[in-house]
Amino acid sequence: MSQNLLPNGGFEDANICSELSKPCAPESWVSTTLDKDMYFFSAASYAQTGAHFAAFVVHDKNNLSNRSFLRSRILCGLRKGNSYSISFFVRSAHALFDSIGIVFSDKDFLYLNNPVQQITSAAIWRDTIHKDPVDPTRWYRVKLNYTASGNETFIALGSFKKEILVNDRPDMKGLYYMFVDSVNMMPLDPSELVCPTADSVMQQSYRENERHTVMHRRISFYRRNPEVEPLPPKTLLMSTDTFLIPDILFNTGSAVLGNASLHVLDSIALKLSDTGIDSVIIAGHTDSIGKVEANEKLSDGRARTVLEYLNLKSAGKDHPMITRSYGSRRPLTSNADAVGRRRNRRVEIYIYRKKSY
């Protein structure tokens, strides 16, 4: 199963900024214009999924040259010539959907002297649907395909419309927003597996807690004193074994393993004795029925139960095993019927193996 190459694509993990000591932005995502527009929102009733979503400014009636982009670092370098699918959901009260798109760079957009608005888009969505008035309550899916050059390190989302004409009222302070949620980038080649540095890149981006005046000072310094960081050399790939433990192998609504699950886990534990294993990730998932907090707790409990059992059966192994709990945030299919909900209630085990190239 391919991994999303963008960190925190659902914006559910909130950054606690170092200046205000409160959630003020999504982890790993920063707006290219920090001083005027808000770009992080918390409202489960409004979000496409989960409780949080983000936004970028498409148009500023008081400053026609002002628009913002959402920037993040890609977890793994893209392979030259390979194709990738980028998808996300957008929502707005304004007919400004045409030419929403993406742009890539080998350097951080925040520190570039030339505005990101002047960079040519890598792929854009040609909207042929929306006319005034638009439905402000609906999320629309944008899906783009992109062939990599091999130099992509950062991605930015925004509007690449050259000229914008809008007559309706702005959302706030003269600004017209495009709201964004559930951003994903996946390789189209199923043999392209996660890189070994993905977790460390994500952790590094999560440690970036400056969002206000400190970020301004840093941007100002690097724009005056540009620093080019070479990409780390690629030495190996990761191959991945994926195992799925369905809901029926747990006691109903519980993190307690049923007896039928033990032989399944025993067979997985045997694989953990193989040489060349780099790490193991155990991810818990639920359906969307019930309270968000309860689903998060259940998915975390089930992942930890599996971890404890595998630790017991594979004592002495030195590779790290990590749990992640996603609740209902990463469904395999729709939760609209019982069959779909049953598929979504699961624990996934990823065994990453080192593979030189």
Q: Which string of DSSP letters, residue by residue, matches 121-184? A: PSEEE---S--SSP-TT--EEEEEEEE--S---EEEEEE--SS----S--SBTTEEEEEEEEEE
48 neighbors 91 (Cβ within 8 angstroms): yes
What's the average model confidence in pLDDT over 274-302?
88
Residue 357 has a pLDDT of 47
What's the average model confidence in pLDDT over 23-30?
88
Instruction: List residues bridging with 285 in a β-sheet.
Output: 346
Instruction: List residues bridging with 140 in a β-sheet.
Output: 90
How many Å apart are CA 1 and CA 242, to the nearest integer? 7
Residue 52 three-state SS: strand
Residue 38 has a pLDDT of 76
Query: Which CATH number among 3.40.50.2000, 1.10.620.20, 3.40.190.10, 2.60.120.260 corresponds to the domain 14-224?
Result: 2.60.120.260
pLDDT band per the 50, 70, 90 thresholds, residue 36: very low
Q: Pick from 29-38, 228-237, 326-335 the range whose average pLDDT is largest.
A: 326-335
Q: Residues for the chain: how many in total?
A: 357
**Is 60 exceeded by the pLDDT of residue 1?**
no
**Is 90 exceeded by the pLDDT of residue 5?**
yes
**Is 70 exceeded by the pLDDT of residue 171?**
yes
Considering only residues 29 and 220, tell me which one the structure prediction assigns the higher pLDDT.
29
How many Å apart are CA 310 and CA 265, to the nearest integer? 7
Question: What's the chain's average pLDDT?
Answer: 83
Considering only residues 35 and 258, tell me which one the structure prediction assigns the higher pLDDT.
258
pLDDT band per the 50, 70, 90 thresholds, residue 184: very high
- Give percent of the chain above pLDDT 90: 30
Which residue has tokens 């259940």?
298
Query: Which CATH number among 3.30.1330.60, 3.40.630.30, 1.20.1250.20, 3.40.800.20 corresponds to the domain 236-356?
Result: 3.30.1330.60
| Sheet containing 40-42, strands listed edge to edge, beginning at the edge strand earlier in sequence | 40-42, 52-60, 175-187, 83-91, 140-147
**Where in the chain are all domains bearing CATH 2.60.120.260?**
14-224
**Is 60 exceeded by the pLDDT of residue 228?**
no
Q: Provide the total of helices (H) and of strands (E) in the chain, helices listed first.
A: 5, 16
How many Å apart are CA 156 and CA 39, to the nearest integer? 14
Residue 116 is classified by DSSP as G
**H-helix or E-strand spanning residue 146:** strand 140-147
Q: pLDDT tens digit string along 82-141?
A: 999 999 999 998 888 888 899 998 888 777 766 555 667 777 777 655 555 678 889 999
**Where in the chain are all domains bearing CATH 3.30.1330.60?**
236-356
The model scores a pTM over 0.75: no
Q: By CB neighbour count within 10 A (0-12 exposed, 13-18 middle, 19+ buried), where does 43 fall?
A: exposed
Residue 105 has a pLDDT of 87
89 neighbors 139 (Cβ within 8 angstroms): yes
CA 137 and chain centroid, separation = 23
How many Å apart are CA 163 and CA 59, to the nearest integer? 10
User: What amino acid occupies position 4?
Assistant: N
